[in-house]
Amino acid sequence: MMNYLWLTGLIIALDQASKWLMVSWLSLHETFVVMPFFNLTMAHNPGAAFSFLAHADGWQRWFFIGLASIVSIALLIWLKKLKPHAKLEAISIAMILGGALGNLIDRFYYGYVIDFLDFYHGTYHWPAFNFADSAIVIGAALLVIDSFRSKTEYL
Protein backbone atom coordinates (compact mmCIF):
# COMPACT_ATOMS: atom_id res chain seq x y z
CA MET A 1 0.00 0.00 0.00
CA MET A 2 3.06 2.25 -0.15
CA ASN A 3 1.90 3.29 -3.63
CA TYR A 4 -0.40 5.80 -1.86
CA LEU A 5 2.63 7.85 -0.84
CA TRP A 6 2.08 9.94 -3.98
CA LEU A 7 -0.90 11.42 -2.13
CA THR A 8 1.33 12.20 0.85
CA GLY A 9 3.78 13.94 -1.47
CA LEU A 10 1.02 15.89 -3.20
CA ILE A 11 -0.35 17.13 0.13
CA ILE A 12 3.13 18.19 1.28
CA ALA A 13 3.74 20.01 -2.01
CA LEU A 14 0.38 21.82 -1.97
CA ASP A 15 0.77 22.71 1.69
CA GLN A 16 4.28 24.08 1.34
CA ALA A 17 3.45 25.94 -1.90
CA SER A 18 0.40 27.58 -0.30
CA LYS A 19 2.43 28.59 2.75
CA TRP A 20 5.21 30.00 0.57
CA LEU A 21 2.62 32.01 -1.37
CA MET A 22 1.03 33.38 1.82
CA VAL A 23 4.41 34.27 3.38
CA SER A 24 5.35 36.06 0.15
CA TRP A 25 2.08 37.96 0.10
CA LEU A 26 0.98 38.73 3.67
CA SER A 27 2.81 40.02 6.72
CA LEU A 28 2.23 38.52 10.16
CA HIS A 29 -1.38 39.21 11.28
CA GLU A 30 -2.21 40.87 7.96
CA THR A 31 -5.68 39.96 6.66
CA PHE A 32 -7.14 39.78 3.18
CA VAL A 33 -10.94 39.52 3.13
CA VAL A 34 -12.13 36.87 0.67
CA MET A 35 -15.79 36.39 1.65
CA PRO A 36 -18.08 37.57 4.48
CA PHE A 37 -17.11 34.44 6.45
CA PHE A 38 -13.56 33.78 5.22
CA ASN A 39 -10.25 35.65 5.36
CA LEU A 40 -6.69 34.87 4.52
CA THR A 41 -4.84 35.90 7.69
CA MET A 42 -1.14 35.26 8.29
CA ALA A 43 -0.56 33.59 11.65
CA HIS A 44 2.34 31.74 13.27
CA ASN A 45 1.50 28.93 15.66
CA PRO A 46 4.37 27.61 17.79
CA GLY A 47 1.90 25.32 19.56
CA ALA A 48 -0.36 22.51 18.41
CA ALA A 49 -4.06 22.48 17.53
CA PHE A 50 -5.94 25.49 18.87
CA SER A 51 -2.52 26.97 19.87
CA PHE A 52 -2.07 24.36 22.60
CA LEU A 53 1.26 25.11 24.36
CA ALA A 54 1.86 28.11 22.06
CA HIS A 55 3.04 30.23 24.99
CA ALA A 56 5.52 27.71 26.41
CA ASP A 57 9.19 28.67 26.65
CA GLY A 58 10.29 27.12 23.33
CA TRP A 59 10.63 23.51 24.40
CA GLN A 60 7.34 22.76 22.66
CA ARG A 61 9.03 23.12 19.25
CA TRP A 62 11.25 20.11 19.89
CA PHE A 63 8.46 18.22 21.63
CA PHE A 64 6.14 18.61 18.62
CA ILE A 65 8.97 17.80 16.18
CA GLY A 66 9.65 14.60 18.10
CA LEU A 67 5.98 13.73 18.41
CA ALA A 68 5.28 14.37 14.72
CA SER A 69 8.34 12.31 13.76
CA ILE A 70 7.23 9.34 15.86
CA VAL A 71 3.64 9.58 14.57
CA SER A 72 4.88 9.81 10.98
CA ILE A 73 7.03 6.69 11.39
CA ALA A 74 4.08 4.85 12.95
CA LEU A 75 1.85 5.92 10.06
CA LEU A 76 4.41 4.68 7.52
CA ILE A 77 4.59 1.31 9.28
CA TRP A 78 0.79 1.12 9.42
CA LEU A 79 0.56 1.98 5.72
CA LYS A 80 3.16 -0.65 4.83
CA LYS A 81 1.26 -3.38 6.71
CA LEU A 82 -2.12 -2.71 5.09
CA LYS A 83 -3.71 -5.34 2.90
CA PRO A 84 -4.35 -4.45 -0.77
CA HIS A 85 -8.12 -4.15 -0.24
CA ALA A 86 -7.76 -1.44 2.47
CA LYS A 87 -7.80 1.43 -0.02
CA LEU A 88 -9.80 3.98 1.98
CA GLU A 89 -7.67 3.27 5.03
CA ALA A 90 -4.51 3.78 2.94
CA ILE A 91 -5.82 7.06 1.52
CA SER A 92 -6.70 8.22 5.05
CA ILE A 93 -3.27 7.39 6.42
CA ALA A 94 -1.51 8.98 3.44
CA MET A 95 -3.49 12.20 4.00
CA ILE A 96 -2.73 12.31 7.72
CA LEU A 97 0.94 11.59 7.00
CA GLY A 98 1.11 14.38 4.39
CA GLY A 99 -0.42 16.86 6.80
CA ALA A 100 1.85 15.82 9.65
CA LEU A 101 4.95 16.13 7.48
CA GLY A 102 3.82 19.46 6.02
CA ASN A 103 3.57 20.96 9.50
CA LEU A 104 6.76 19.19 10.61
CA ILE A 105 8.66 20.96 7.83
CA ASP A 106 7.40 24.30 9.17
CA ARG A 107 8.50 23.48 12.72
CA PHE A 108 12.00 22.52 11.55
CA TYR A 109 12.40 25.50 9.24
CA TYR A 110 10.61 28.29 11.14
CA GLY A 111 10.04 27.00 14.66
CA TYR A 112 6.28 27.42 14.22
CA VAL A 113 3.51 26.38 11.83
CA ILE A 114 2.25 28.86 9.27
CA ASP A 115 -1.55 29.19 9.34
CA PHE A 116 -3.64 31.40 7.10
CA LEU A 117 -7.16 30.01 6.54
CA ASP A 118 -9.47 32.05 8.78
CA PHE A 119 -13.18 31.15 8.89
CA TYR A 120 -15.48 33.18 11.10
CA HIS A 121 -19.06 34.07 11.96
CA GLY A 122 -19.68 37.56 13.31
CA THR A 123 -16.89 38.16 15.79
CA TYR A 124 -16.19 34.47 16.43
CA HIS A 125 -13.15 33.20 14.51
CA TRP A 126 -12.27 29.54 14.22
CA PRO A 127 -8.53 29.20 14.92
CA ALA A 128 -6.56 29.81 11.72
CA PHE A 129 -5.31 26.66 10.00
CA ASN A 130 -3.62 25.50 6.79
CA PHE A 131 -3.87 22.80 4.12
CA ALA A 132 -1.81 20.34 6.18
CA ASP A 133 -4.30 20.68 9.04
CA SER A 134 -7.16 20.16 6.58
CA ALA A 135 -5.54 16.98 5.24
CA ILE A 136 -5.14 15.65 8.79
CA VAL A 137 -8.79 16.33 9.65
CA ILE A 138 -10.14 14.90 6.38
CA GLY A 139 -7.87 11.87 6.68
CA ALA A 140 -8.97 11.26 10.26
CA ALA A 141 -12.65 11.61 9.29
CA LEU A 142 -12.18 9.11 6.44
CA LEU A 143 -10.46 6.74 8.86
CA VAL A 144 -13.43 6.93 11.22
CA ILE A 145 -15.85 6.36 8.34
CA ASP A 146 -13.75 3.40 7.18
CA SER A 147 -13.85 1.90 10.68
CA PHE A 148 -17.65 1.65 10.43
CA ARG A 149 -17.57 -0.15 7.09
CA SER A 150 -18.20 -3.87 7.10
CA LYS A 151 -14.96 -5.82 6.93
CA THR A 152 -16.70 -9.15 6.23
CA GLU A 153 -16.49 -8.56 2.49
CA TYR A 154 -12.70 -8.93 2.76
CA LEU A 155 -12.67 -12.21 4.69
Catalytic residue ranges: 115, 133
Residue 63, phi then psi, degrees to nearest 5: -60, -50
- Distance CA(116)–CA(120), nearest Å, equals 13
Which residue type, as a one-letter code, is found at position 114? I
Length of the chain: 155
